[in-house]
Amino acid sequence: MIGRLARSLRLVVITDRALAEPRGLLDVVRLALAAGAPCVQLRNKGEPARELLAIGRDIRALVREAGALLVVNDRLDVALALEADGVHVGPDDLPVSAVRTAVPPGFVVGRSADEPEVARRAVDDGADYIGCGTVYPTSTKRDAGSAIGLQGLRRVVEAVDVPVVGIGGITVERASDVATTGAVGVAVVGAVMASAAPAEAVRGLLSPFQAA
Amino acid sequence: MIGRLARSLRLVVITDRALAEPRGLLDVVRLALAAGAPCVQLRNKGEPARELLAIGRDIRALVREAGALLVVNDRLDVALALEADGVHVGPDDLPVSAVRTAVPPGFVVGRSADEPEVARRAVDDGADYIGCGTVYPTSTKRDAGSAIGLQGLRRVVEAVDVPVVGIGGITVERASDVATTGAVGVAVVGAVMASAAPAEAVRGLLSPFQAA
């Protein structure tokens, strides 16, 4: 039996307006949710807060209707304004400890970490889950550094007792390998956003992580 | 007699790390506060939240010690994490109404507006003050559009009953002209940050706005 958060983190669909083209971002998100995606992360780097809020409101409506989780990347203020379920922060964003002091109880805080020590510190500071990667080399995140592979992911999984999600270059084909590490799920950008068949991709990515 | 907020808004010193060089930003802020600057706005566009928070903590300490006001530009989340006194938002940032719902009572919310209608709407949504400009053409804000002049500023002052601060190309020489419009003060970037004598600049900028 796994917890509620871990169940939501079996698949995190990260938004990317450009990769979704020529389809609208909302259309791809709608397909993903209908296929069972349990979590959407709103991420549109460099977009002004107001635009992020505008698209975020539409996405929130879809996510709520589907009973899924909505997490916002980096911009805690947008997350709060949206009444999202959580925020995901990386090394350049607000520290987890600062985020914790500014959010209501129950608000989900995720932190990126590709090393056990960083992950442990994040959990000590109050992170509810860890996004771990880059697992495989990827083109959608240029500054991702070198890939840590399944072994690197496993090391982080073993270092913390909160859910860990693998991220970076994960495809339907690779998802079952990722599941062998003990990660509760995967976070993907291109594998859903750029997919010609987003619903099929969602089902394929979820299948190794179906909870008992 | 003017209110406490209006008194703090007689001069808003907006930070700019590049313009402060070769001096450190903190050194210039320290000089400005010592000379009586009543408000500092932390603005470093494009800087990651974590860096903004780091420099913000140092600035907060200086501002608190001086009994001045600290406002953060755009990033409400950084403002909350810093326990700053307020946030200043522009047209691309979070709407004032969204900010209002996410902040504690007494938190100061400023909004940029160069037209009476925009200013009125911002006040209706809960803005505590208006930053109005660009008053004079300026090089420190490239996307500032065309200057509205003293007449444009006066129109906004007359349209709302919250304090209005003039911004854009304001120098020591121009400050007394700005004061004739009914603006409670001025907000400046270059006039203090790039000044060879920041303390003198602060005193000069403040002098037309000395409150009874």
Instruction: Write out pLDDT tens, residues B4-40.
Output: 999 999 999 999 999 999 999 999 999 999 999 999 9
Pairwise CA distance, residues A164 & A150, whole Å: 13
**Over 60: is that where the pLDDT of B1 sits?**
no
A77 to B76: CB separation less than 8 angstroms, yes or no: yes
B36 touching chain A per CB within 8 A: no
Question: Three-class SS of residue B66?
Answer: helix
How many residues comprise chain A?
A: 212
Residue A143 is predicted with a pLDDT of: 53
Tens of pLDDT, residues A57-109: 999 999 999 999 999 999 999 999 999 999 999 999 999 999 998 899 999 99
Select the residue of B51, B53, B75 nearest A77 (Cβ to Cβ).
B75
Mean pLDDT of B118-128: 98
Mean pLDDT of B45-69: 95
Contact A168, A147 (CB under 8 A): yes
A81 to B74: CB separation less than 8 angstroms, yes or no: no
- Pick the residue from chain A with its C-alpha nearest to B81: A98
Select the residue of B51, B77, B98 nearest A53 (Cβ to Cβ).
B98
Q: Which residues of B125-141 are buried (b: 16+ CB within 10 A; e: fewer)?
A: ebbbbbbbbbbbebebb
Q: Which residues of A touch B91 (CB under 8 A)?
A: 50
Instruction: Tell me how many residue pairs between chain A and chain B have CB atoms under 8 A apart.
Output: 61
Residue B24 is predicted with a pLDDT of: 97
Pairwise CA distance, residues B75 & B78, whole Å: 5
B49 touching chain A per CB within 8 A: yes
ipTM of the complex: 0.83
Q: Which of residues 152-181 of A touch B (CB under 8 A)?
A: none
Pairwise CA distance, residues B181 & B175, whole Å: 10
A53 to B94: CB separation less than 8 angstroms, yes or no: yes
Between B140 and A122, the higher pLDDT residue: A122
B80 touching chain A per CB within 8 A: yes
The gap from C-alpha B163 to its chain's centroid, in whole angstroms, comes to 12
* Dihedral, B27, B29, B32, B33 alpha carbons, nearest 10: -110
Question: In which residue ranges of chain A is pLDDT below 50?
Answer: 1, 144, 212
Mean pLDDT of B57-78: 97
Identify the weakest region by mean pLDDT among B76-90, B91-105, B109-123, B133-147.
B133-147
Between B101 and A14, the higher pLDDT residue: A14
A81 to B94: CB separation less than 8 angstroms, yes or no: yes
Handedness of CA A86, A91, A97, A99 (dihedral sign): negative
Residue A2 is predicted with a pLDDT of: 65
Q: Give DSSP secondary structure letters for chain A.
A: ---HHHHHTTEEEE--HHHHTTS-HHHHHHHHHHTT--EEEE--TT--HHHHHHHHHHHHHHHHHHT-EEEEES-HHHHHHHT-SEEEE-TTS--HHHHHHHS-TT-EEEEE-SSHHHHHHHHHHT-SEEEE---S--SS-TT--S--HHHHHHHHHHH-SS-EEEESS--HHHHHHHHTTT-SEEEESHHHHT-SSHHHHHHHHHGGG---
Residue type, B100: R
Residue A3 is predicted with a pLDDT of: 86
State how far the alpha carbon of A70 is from the alpha carbons of A86, A109, B56, in Å: 7, 11, 29
To the nearest whole Å, the CA of A51 is away from the closest chain B CA by 7
Contact A134, A147 (CB under 8 A): yes
Which of B7, B10, B30, B43 is catalytic? The answer is B43
Residue B210 is predicted with a pLDDT of: 80
Select the residue of A78, A98, A101 nearest B94 (Cβ to Cβ).
A78
- Pick the residue from chain A with its C-alpha nearest to B48: A92
In the DSSP assignment, the letter for residue B182 is: T
Q: What percent of chain A has pLDDT over 70?
A: 95
To the nearest whole Å, the CA of B117 is away from the closest chain A CA by 19
- Pick the residue from chain A with its C-alpha nearest to B75: A77
Select the residue of B53, B74, B102 nearest A81 (Cβ to Cβ).
B102
Longest dimension (CA), chain A: 42
Q: What percent of chain B has pLDDT over 90?
A: 89
